[in-house]
Structure 1
């Protein structure tokens, strides 16, 4: 990290002998800022009753973040392109196509997409996006994650497709599975994105995102009532369940810091990002998400004890399931995968441990996790799809 940080300063040096000292000075400044953020945040949650120290701590962390970002963004953006963080083998041969998922490991929307890819057994690469620079997705007009990029060859030409928005990506993948004669290029046209400028903010909308699109060859034998229920509960996940997560995971500064340390380990940030960047994200992110959690809590009328709102949402889901194993019956549907992805996003945090300890949803969660991890959705691809020239078939799962 020292060399990239020093690179922007080299033009100011008057002699080569100054370079080692200048490199060390810049490196130490950046690391000191991260330690300052850590101490400031620690002071604020260890002694929360001291209002003055809390304000000072928050102010120092904010000023530090602005100053440090100038160095971190320049250095990391210059060195980060689109590196693959890991490869998920899957169990399907999808021919001359490669799926790449751009994500944050703990993002609930990204977890929804990973659950879908794993359920169907698709092989895919994962690119962990730097939440500060977002340099890995600078190729995209859509500046959020997840983004799924498909590179392939249709027999005549190479192609690259980009799918944005978690619900769109899930619908695309499911449509691709159920209608095995329609190419991804064609399916992409069914989900047009509408971009609108609202002041400085760019807002995207995908009107069809909860609909699965079929051609004439339909492998889905469900009734329209069942399909409508699936769409309704997928929307419920985005509109209700998602808003209970941040007030619970980041309920206090202590829980927020614990969560970010867990996310750092889970996402292997030490392998993908520089030490100053990782520490910066952990400690400034702790403060930022604590504040965002409080904003979300007020905006969406989350109860004073946010656990109650989380448990009530899970109560509603379990009541809808009734005696069924899943909303999809004997097998999960897209709504099941959406709920699982939302809850899995904070697996390992205190809020998740509390939920699994005190709520009946644990049985459902454990069952669907086992099904996802064994790729049981791959049984939908038992027939050789015409657009998978190299697909060798996969036997139906029990």
Structure 2
């Protein structure tokens, strides 16, 4: 100490060498939760990619960390293929899917009918388009899976694909290169052709919304809605002194842990998001069995045992009533039997509504 002033060493000693390193925006438990969510979402993405390639695809072993685009430039091998989407409903922020150019070349070669072996590192325009479509299906499937887990619609913007072949170029026009982001790295395997790594980047804002929703944490708007909900259910004219004291006691215990009671929210059956439409496109060539039901009848075991050649079975349908047309055992239309050349056929007279068909297919 000189002239009553403390030296820098003395100040550091008094402060106990306080660590000034900024804390992580996410706790370890938050990272674990994001890893589990990412594992489930990318599981759907692997199914989509497997359908496209016709090969077994596994996307597993998520590793969550905090990074930035500038730090990725230093650690991730270039060139890479990047697909970026923005969340447009309920979630906010950007989502980027990164794949190494060598891995993208294998995927493109398989999509173009090749074996996926001895591929060129450089991608043609057609191959870039093919890989972009595959990545689009993957990220769309992941968004649909995330929507199911969060129990609200998750829609994304049209994807922006680019080849990032120079670390000096911009990877995203919507994200600050120095901004902290959540990096979820996955192991990607395609049978014995590929064993590599892909990367999913989320903005911190997006990650926190997901975490809050999954952990049941409410924002101020939800709290206000809950307060209004409880007030509206008790008519003011019927409140006596005893009930007032109960209300006061309940209000004093607001900060205590309570069971989270919310009104159930369901997506309308008449609306499908872009991701759901894209997922349906993947199964358009799946064969379905169509059958026609002329009618039905109930018989006892005795009557069944007494049947023989020439026996007649009366059905519950009149001659002019339409027959039921079933797809995989589910009624989708009504029609009438016709003769086409030497075969029987059916002319469709009416189609069951989309809502009723979806309910039928869901077993409702």
TM range (shorter): under 0.3
Higher relative contact order (CA 8 A, sep 6+): 1
- TM-score with structure 2 setting the length: 0.27
More strand by share: 2
More helix by share: 1
- TM-score with structure 1 setting the length: 0.26
Which structure has the bigger radius of gyration?
Answer: 2
